[in-house]
Amino acid sequence: MSRMVQCVVLKREAPGLERVPYPGELGRRIYESVSREGWARWLAHQTMLINEYRLTPIEPKARKFLETEMEKFFFGAGSQAPEGYQPPKAGS
């Protein structure tokens, strides 16, 4: 049976992650209060940030930026798309 969490993204109870997804205190907080679906939403948002800002995730500055955005996405006011960002149209 799946571990259930009160997801901070979905605002309802949902199946939790199987393991801590990120190191440290932030990873523990995510494990305890983000569902699998909530994590998948972050991964899609993170991919958009990496692509739009042309980040190289192995660079320390990019990693710090993504960690800050992750914190905001889950526990803050939310992570915003870059100004002027237009999501891809369906079928593109």
- Express each pLDDT in 16-42 by its tens digit: 999 999 999 999 999 999 999 999 999
**CA 29, CA 77: separation in Å to the nearest integer?**
16
Is this structure's pTM higher than 0.85? Answer: yes
**CA 52, CA 29: separation in Å to the nearest integer?**
27
pLDDT at residue 53, rounded to an integer: 94
Distance of alpha carbon 56 from the chain centroid: 17
Q: Does the domain spanning 4-75 belong to CATH 1.10.3880.10? A: yes
